[in-house]
Amino acid sequence: MSAEERREAVVRAALAEFARGGYAGTSTAAIARRVGVSQPYLFRLFADKRAIFLAAAARCCDQIRVRLAEASEGLPPDEAGRAMADAYALLTADREQLLFQMQMYAAAGVAEEAGDHAFADRLRRAWGEIWDLVHLRLGAEGDRTVDFMGQGMLINAMLALNLPTEHRAWVACGQAPEAG
């Protein structure tokens, strides 16, 4: 494999490992093992664990932003909202993607509290790009954006909790995932 292919493999492995263990609980040794490389080689590809996490976060947010953009391209706001919701449902069907998102939000808060403002800012900026896209595709109406993003965060929490589809929260929001 080329160095670029190895970097890609590291990002995929990091997303999976961080999804399970979070930033603090994931070792670079676990990431290296999953990829099948040594830690010294891992650090030739990325400066440190922080850089690996940020690459995985960028990948996660880019995937969301691109899928939402593709789904809503050229649609009026109401149709765009439905199309983005459907596209996002497909993304969150990937449990690692979902759990990594949750870990990313936690990592930003912990980093901010610890004084690593640059790390937290990078994570917030990536999420902000998703917000901006949704806002524009929903007609630049603040309430619609808040409702859409709020519903998405609620669904993230219910999926992360593995709530059964018959749970009252799923029933109330009318967005239960497909069984299977």
pLDDT digits (tens, 9 = 90+) for 156-166: 999 999 999 88
Taking the C-alpha atoms of residue 47 and residue 53, their distance in angstroms, rounded to an integer, is 11
State the distance between the two ends of the chain, measured CA to CA, in whole angstroms. Answer: 35
According to the model, what pLDDT value does residue 179 have?
A: 58
Q: 155 near 173, Cβ under 8 Å?
A: yes
Lookup: tokens for 178? 């497909």
pLDDT digits (tens, 9 = 90+) for 41-91: 999 999 999 999 999 999 999 999 999 999 999 999 999 999 999 999 999
Helix residue ranges, H only, 36-141? 39-45, 49-72, 77-92, 95-114, 117-137
pLDDT tens for each residue of 98-155: 999 999 999 999 999 999 999 999 999 999 999 999 999 999 988 999 999 999 999 9
